[in-house]
Structure 1
Amino acid sequence: MSISTVAKKLPTTAIAATVIVLGIGAVAPVAQATVLTFDDIAPISYFNEIPNGYGGFNWNNFNYINGSSPKVRRTGEDNGRVSGDYVAFNGFGNPALVSDSVFDFNSAYLSATWNNGLSVTVEGLKNGATLYSKTVIVDTTQPTLVNFDYFGVDELKFTSFGGVEPNYLGGTGTQFALDNFTFNEKATSIPEPTLLPALFAVGTLSIGSVLRRKQLNQS
């Protein structure tokens, strides 16, 4: 007998009670996204390393910088600010890593510090294997929102290259600026009971109830 047949033969109230008590069909809670703005680290006049533990992550070759500093005026570290004064950047233009236990990487704003037309490749890895990879091209004039939607990763690798230095900046390099890093901690899902055992359990109770009623009517 199919599940649907069993369900049809059971009283509606019994099935509803099973759903309520056992949580059949209940949706597991969804973790709320967290946005790292880099504005809540210790205030600095210029730049410093992002400390490990910020946002629950380990940061390798990532610094944060005061984008309102006169030293970075008109660069992507100035123009790339989305919230507050601070943005992150990759030291010396070298690859930079963010790692943690399993998480979902939703989105971030990226801009080029010095070179217009800068390419930034962002890889999402788990246990050393690359699950995702996306390359975007960004400029120094404004931040670009990039939706990554990397699910179930434990490391991100940012690599930047190429681009051309505009004449008005007076500097060059493959650094990029990063702001409003948005992610979800991986929520532990609540296992849902299967429908069939639950329905059979209710069915057993319902049959017993019917038999007891018949015995009482015959006495």
Structure 2
Amino acid sequence: HPVGLAADLTISGAVAAGARVSLTGPDGVTAAAKVGPEGGFSAAVAPGEWLVDFSAAGATERRHVVVGAAPVVLSTFSDKGGPAEAPLPQEHVVGFDDLMTSPGVFEVPSGYGGLNWYNLVAMHQRFTEGPGYINTTMSGEFIAYNSSGHPAQVFSDKPFDFTGAYFGAGWDDAEGETLILKAWRGDEPAYEDRLTLSANGLVYFAADYGRITRLEIRTQHYWQAAIDDFAYRTGP
């Protein structure tokens, strides 16, 4: 039985007032994105590799974005310029499928994938029959979510880069829920983003959070956020 919708593919995000955004597609054609009065932008795209260029107040940044089967939301561009340090070398993607072999619920243990996890639970996509859990599954049959809708954390003593992940709302009643992502380097706040979740389909959040030690994942109204293919980089 169908449980979701095939969303139109877009690249969207938020920029500072007065910033300019241009996108170059797989065909090499570059076009400017229309930036709204509050800094939001959204552009229709096709699958493939894209370049997104930001400029504001003399600062510039370029991001490489791969568009697949889901709309992409970019982390907020800052007019302070792009990251000064190169990405960490070792790439990882965890899909939570190797934690269990039968339907059920399993707390994601600290140490999984080389990171520490708090209040994240993995389960089979159809364990609860919530449509958003099914729609957010990208690899295998298991996903993760913030247990009881309370804030979850991913953290490490060693800095890691949070590349991005697929997110959706677990339940129909959570349609339009706001996901709030915050990251720190030690005790210093480093990043903060918000995106809208749907149970009908997933979005890919392209974070590009560099050299963080803690990531908080929470929802504004304490609904469960479904998560799959959590991607990150670590040092040697």
Class of the TM-score when normalised by the shorter of the 2 chains: 0.5 to 0.7
Q: What is the Cα deviation at residue 31 of structure 1?
A: 1.3
SS in 1 for 2:134: helix
Q: Distance in 2 between matches of 1:79 and 1:92?
A: 19
Match of 2:41 in 1: none
Equivalent pair of 1:63/1:90 in contact (CA under 8 Å): yes
How many pairs are equivalent?
148
Match of 2:126 in 1: 68
Q: Which has the higher helix share?
A: 1
Alpha-carbon deviations, 1:178-206, whole Å to 9, x = none? Answer: 0000011035xxxxxxxxxxxxxxxxxxx
Q: What is the Cα deviation at residue 161 of structure 1?
A: 1.9
Match of 1:79 in 2: 135
Structure 1 residues 31 and 75: CA distance shift in structure 2, 3 A: same
**AA matched with 2:98:** D
TM-score by length of 1: 0.64
Match of 1:108 in 2: 165
Question: Any unmatched runs of 5+ in structure 2?
Answer: 1-85
Equivalent pair of 1:113/1:140 in contact (CA under 8 Å): yes
- Among 174, 186, 189, the alignment partner of 2:235 is 186
Match of 1:42 in 2: 100
**AA matched with 2:144:** A
Q: What is the Cα deviation at residue 98 of structure 1?
A: 0.4
Q: Is residue 177 of structure 1 aligned with residue 235 of structure 2?
A: no
Higher relative contact order (CA 8 A, sep 6+): 1
Question: Any unmatched runs of 5+ in structure 1?
Answer: 1-27, 163-172, 188-219
Q: Distance in 2 between matches of 1:127 and 1:112?
A: 29
- Among 128, 140, 145, the alignment partner of 2:187 is 128
- Among 146, 150, 153, the alignment partner of 1:97 is 153
Map 1:3-82; keep pairs closer than 5 Å: 31-69=89-127, 72-82=128-138
TM-score by length of 2: 0.59
Taking only aligned residues, the RMSD between alpha carbons, in angstroms, comes to: 1.8
The list of structure 1 runs, each at least 4 consecutive aligned residues, that deviate by more than 3 angstroms after superposition, is none
Alpha-carbon deviations, 1:100-128, whole Å to 9, x = none? Answer: 12000011000001200011111111112
- When Rg is computed on C-alpha atoms for both structures, the one with the higher figure is 1
Equivalent pair of 1:65/1:77 in contact (CA under 8 Å): no
SS in 1 for 2:97: coil
